[in-house]
């Protein structure tokens, strides 16, 4: 019986390696549609399993800010069927999934404690989606996911396999993607009438509350002097957008 189990495990590993060698990208997701399909499934699982705030005004507040930022997006994102959900959880995190799913954990309010700071968070996460960073990350990290499966199979824990969308929420973006999301996020929030200077305030808050152990949002979104410098460098055009939006009475009140 033991030999049969070992043989099954070995055959499973050989099969996995065979599948990898047949796919030049070493990816589970071979198309954007496959990533979106898995993201939809993960989104449904999250909505079923995670609680939402008892106070409906919290959902309305976040929805209002997200809607304002979505209103300045270009096609095809402007007309996408967006869905925003606040999860009652202490995680200092937020995310945007393929298909227009935006999740915000109530723990993020510890650092994004103003409408403008929250707009910086949401703008940044939407930028990761519109700039295809989420799709790229799913493909680039799929080899790491394969190693997880191989390790689980070798230890007899093959029933527990991380899905690609779980990785979408936990694995970091690279520095170039972070810098791009910062700049594009500034553009979105400022055009929607939110003060882009709040992005610097947000990241400073992140560092101050970390107390040596960075919160989830900071751990997967590297900060530091370089990031602050890049934000300052991109601030002038963002402030121009913000002033134009203010002159057009786009200073929305979501409170």
Long-range contacts of 46-50 (CB under 8 A, 24+ apart): 46/85, 46/87, 46/103, 47/85, 50/87, 50/88, 50/89
- Of 179 and 124, the structure prediction assigns the larger pLDDT to 124
Q: Give the pLDDT band of residue 223 (cuts 50, 70, 90).
A: low
At 158, list the tokens.
Answer: 């093959």
Lowest mean pLDDT among 8-22, 23-37, 96-110, 125-139: 8-22
Query: pLDDT value at position 165?
Result: 40
Please tell me the distance from the alpha carbon of residue 198 to that of residue 192, in angstroms, as a whole number.
Answer: 13
Long-range contacts of 249-254 (CB under 8 A, 24+ apart): 250/68, 250/191, 250/192, 250/193, 251/193, 252/64, 252/65, 252/68, 252/192, 252/193, 254/60, 254/61, 254/64, 254/65, 254/68, 254/115
At 193, list the tokens.
Answer: 């009438």
pLDDT for 145 beyond 90 = no
Which pTM value belongs to this model? 0.76
Q: Provide the pairing of β-strand 94-97 with 101-105.
A: antiparallel
pLDDT for 150 beyond 80 = no
Q: What is the pLDDT of residues 47-87, one digit of tens each?
A: 999 999 999 999 999 999 999 999 999 999 999 999 999 99
Q: Exactly one of 125, 136, 207, 216 is catalytic; which is it?
A: 125
Residues 17-36 have a mean pLDDT of 53
Active site residue 125: yes
Q: Give the pLDDT band of residue 6 (cuts 50, 70, 90).
A: very low
Query: pLDDT value at position 222?
Result: 54
- Of 6 and 239, the structure prediction assigns the larger pLDDT to 239
Find, among 36, 44, 8, 252, the residue nearest to 154 by Cα.
8
């Amino acid at each position: 019986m033991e030999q049969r189990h070992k043989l099954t495990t070995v055959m499973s590993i050989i099969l996995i390696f065979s599948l990898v060698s047949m796919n030049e990208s070493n990816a589970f997701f071979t198309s954007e549609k496959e990533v979106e399909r898995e993201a939809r499934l993960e989104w449904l699982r999250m909505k079923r399993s995670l609680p939402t705030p008892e106070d409906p005004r919290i959902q309305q507040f976040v929805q209002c800010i997200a809607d304002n930022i979505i209103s300045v997006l270009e096609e095809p994102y402007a007309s996408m069927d967006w869905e925003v959900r606040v999860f009652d959880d202490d995680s200092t995190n937020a995310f945007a999934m393929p298909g227009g799913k935006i999740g915000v954990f109530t723990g993020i309010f510890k650092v994004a404690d103003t409408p403008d700071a929250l707009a910086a968070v949401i703008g940044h996460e939407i930028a990761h989606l519109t700039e295809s960073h989420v799709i790229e990350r799913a493909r680039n990290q799929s080899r790491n996911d394969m190693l997880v499966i191989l390790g689980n199979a070798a230890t007899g824990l093959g029933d527990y396999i991380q899905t690609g969308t779980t990785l979408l929420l936990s694995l970091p973006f690279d520095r170039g993607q972070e810098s791009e999301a910062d700049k594009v996020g500034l553009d979105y929030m400022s055009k929607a009438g939110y003060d882009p200077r709040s992005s610097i305030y947000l990241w400073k808050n992140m560092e101050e509350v970390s107390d040596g152990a960075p919160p989830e949002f900071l751990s997967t979104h590297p900060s530091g002097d370089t990031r602050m410098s890049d934000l300052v460098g991109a601030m002038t055009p963002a402030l121009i957008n913000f002033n134009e939006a203010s002159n057009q009475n786009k200073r929305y009140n979501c409170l």
